[in-house]
Amino acid sequence: MPAVQVIRSEWTKIRSVASTVWTLSLAVVVTVALGTLICALSSRQFANMPARERFSFDPTAVSFAGMTLGQLAMIVFGVLVVSTEYSTGMIRASLAAVPRRGTFLFCKVAVAAALALAVGMVTSFAAFFLGQAVLGSHRAAIGDPGVLRAVFGGGLYMTLIAMFSMGVATMLRSPMLSLGILMPFFFLISNILGNVDATKKVGRFLPDQAGSRIMRVVPRVADDTPYGPWGGLGIMALWVVAALAGGYLLLRRRDAQ
């Protein structure tokens, strides 16, 4: 089957599953709503912040405060795109129609990534503009140095989260197992490793810790991170490549189940 037909088939699969549509909608709502709320609270409490916090206050990054929960919805989306076929048994028909497994996986990832990128960009720009609107005099402008990069980076970050989840789901096949590993990893383990002094140097190279740096404009006080915003996103991209490569290798070697 030509790649164009495979892409059309994958698009039909994704848009016909209600759970993927609802998951992407939830990613937008949660990220924008929580970011706007945090911006409103930050604006009210700015005068009471310690001088150290006011000095490193990053209005752009604050508008992305909802990304912590929004990325969980993107994880679910990435897992569902892959594992739904395994849980329903459709994977046998899909691989019978597209025996070239590299083509099958590439087209699936390409369609899902394009959709995640569109949703991620809309979410990132909406979170920024609504967040800055409620920050008042503490807001940043889209034309300020580094701000446009951070906003675009927010959309790219959400896309890479979804792609990484797709790679992991391809390796594990089970939606419950994939979510059981990814959710605690991003929501709990990564935050612990990135904030405990003994493990900070390791935690900063995890995909979300490195990738989220793209959304910061004002450096934290005494920040000794050995890479910049684009370097962090590059590290995250390497994690994505590794996850997808692992998924491809296992997909080639295993029978459809």
In tens, the pLDDT along 29-56 reads 999 999 999 999 988 887 777 777 777 7
Q: Tell me: the pLDDT tens digits for 103-154?
A: 888 989 999 999 999 999 999 999 999 999 999 888 899 999 999 999 999 9
Q: Tell me: the pLDDT tens digits for 78-87?
A: 999 988 887 7
Q: How many residues does the chain have?
A: 257
pLDDT bin (cut points 50, 70, 90) of residue 1 is low
Higher pLDDT, residue 21 or 256: 21
pLDDT bin (cut points 50, 70, 90) of residue 256 is low
The pTM assigned to this predicted structure is 0.92
- Is the model's pLDDT at 88 over the cut of 80? no
Q: Which residue has the tokens 């009471």?
A: 48
Position 118 scores a pLDDT of 96
Q: Tell me: the pLDDT tens digits for 199-223?
A: 888 889 999 999 999 999 988 766 7
Number of domains present in the structure of the chain: 1
Position 240 scores a pLDDT of 97
Position 2 scores a pLDDT of 65
Q: What is the mean pLDDT of the chain?
A: 89
Where in the sequence is the domain holding 103, given as residue range(s)? 3-253
Amino acid at 138: H
Q: How many CB atoms lie within 10 A of CB 230?
A: 12
Both tokens of 4, joined, read: 């164009």
The answer for residues whose C-beta is within 8 angstroms of residue 85's C-beta and 6 or more apart is: 13, 91, 94
- Is the model's pLDDT at 176 over the cut of 70? yes
Q: How far is Cα 37 from Cα 32, in angstroms, rounded to an integer?
A: 9
- Is the model's pLDDT at 96 over the cut of 80? no
Q: What is the DSSP string of 157-168?
A: HHHHHHHHHHHH
Both tokens of 33, joined, read: 């709503």
Q: Which residue has the tokens 């409620």?
A: 134
Higher pLDDT, residue 6 or 182: 182
Choose from 16-30, 49-63, 94-108, 224-238 the range with maximum mean pLDDT: 224-238
